[in-house]
Amino acid sequence: MRLRINLLEKLASEEVPDVICLQETKTPDEFFPAEAIEGFGYKHLAFHGMKGYNGVAILSKFPLENIRTHARTGKEDCRHISANIMHPQMKTPVSIHNLYIPAGGDAPDPDINDKFQHKLDFVEELTEWFPSNENADAPVIALGDMNIAPLENDVWSHKQMLKVVSHTPAETDRFAEFYKSMNWTDAMRHFVPEEEKLYSWWSYRARDWAASDRGRRLDHVWVTEPLAPLLKSCNVLRDARGWERPSDHVPVIIDFKVKK
DNA sequence: ATGGTAGGTACCCTA
């Protein structure tokens, strides 16, 4: 968050999003750079962070109400924050959920790898939690770093990735259940056909990320049925992977047809 | 099968 504040400023000034959701802020709340971000035009902030790991934040040009943080899988680890966006042209608040699903470690075996078990538990908990705490007939957005690439063309090689954490059947099967739980629409695939490769993340461990192009689509934006007809465009900022001192994830921008 | 990078923290962890 603090190391890459200049990248956030670049994103804010070049793309001018109304709302920005961040994951892995890795900043305790008392050190969150709220004043700098307010200077970029985002006066309404919701953040939930801790030292060193995890952390999520919502930056908004519109008022946020009912800000809530959610402890998941019995841990207080700053991976889920939600709020109601009070858009002046929307009749009802838009409930937004910013998620950072655990990466899951290396071994895709819950018996020997606690982190993988945690990831599976986290997705299962969300699958139960959303239908009992949100209304699929109301405007709801769930987005974030979900650390799962569900479709064959969400990874550079489906066959080679089947045993790699992020694309294993154990994960993608549970992810599909989560996807069904609120009759979500995948806002990225709404615009990019499933036959086309689409990535939002490229590993740091490549000599040349662009030349090898072994990406994965780990970041997602899902919307409930009332918002689906308002989807206007999707822009994955691939170029941001080449910015100075980049994140290994790039921004995913969804535009909605809302009068301003 | 292996190690490759980035970053923070403290000599190792998480991604």
DSSP states of chain A: --TTHHHHHHHHHHH--SEEEEE-----GGG--HHHHHHTT--EEEEE--SSS--EEEEESS-EEEEEE--BTTB--S-EEEEEE--TT-SSPEEEEEEE-----S---TTT-HHHHHHHHHHHHHHHHHHHHS-TTS-EEEEEE-----SGGGBS-HHHHTTSTTS-HHHHHHHHHHHHHTT-EETTTTTS-TTS---SEE-SSSS-HHHH--EE--EEEEE-GGGGGGEEEEEE-GGGGGSSS--SB--EEEEE----
pLDDT (tens digit per residue) in A50-100: 998 999 999 999 999 999 999 999 988 899 999 999 999 999 999 999 999
- Does the nearest atom of strand B lie within 7 Å of A245's Cβ? yes
pLDDT (tens digit per residue) in A12-45: 999 999 999 999 999 999 999 999 999 999 999 9
Nucleotide nearest to A203 (CA to C1'): B5
Nucleotide nearest to A106 (CA to C1'): B15
Report the pLDDT averaged over residues A219-228: 98
pLDDT at A260 > cutoff 80 = no
pLDDT (tens digit per residue) in A186-204: 999 999 999 999 999 999 9
- Report the protein residue whose CA lies nearest the C1' of nucleotide B14: A53
Q: What is the pLDDT of residue A1?
A: 87
pLDDT at A160 > cutoff 70 = yes
Is the entire prediction scored with pTM above 0.95? Answer: yes
Nucleotide nearest to A248 (CA to C1'): B6
State how far the Cα of A56 lies from the Cα of A34, in Å rounded to an integer: 13
- Does the nearest atom of strand B lie within 7 Å of A260's Cβ? no
Average pLDDT, chain A: 96
Q: What is the pLDDT of residue A176?
A: 98
Report the pLDDT averaged over residues A119-144: 98
The dihedral formed by the CA atoms of A75, A81, A84 and A90, expressed in degrees to the nearest 10: -130
Q: What is the pLDDT of residue A164?
A: 95
pLDDT at A258 > cutoff 70 = yes
- Does the nearest atom of strand B lie within 7 Å of A110's Cβ? no
* Interface residues 90-109 of A with strand B (CB < 7 Å): 102-105
State how far the Cα of A194 lies from the Cα of A151, in Å rounded to an integer: 7
Nucleotide B2 C1' to residue A205 CA (A): 13
Q: What is the pLDDT of residue A194?
A: 97
Q: What is the pLDDT of residue A12?
A: 97
Question: pLDDT class for A230, splitting at 50, 70, 90?
Answer: very high
* Interface residues 49-78 of A with strand B (CB < 7 Å): 51-54
Nucleotide B8 C1' to residue A247 CA (A): 15
Nucleotides of B under 7 A from a protein CB: 3-9, 14-15
pLDDT at A254 > cutoff 80 = yes
Q: What is the pLDDT of residue A259?
A: 76
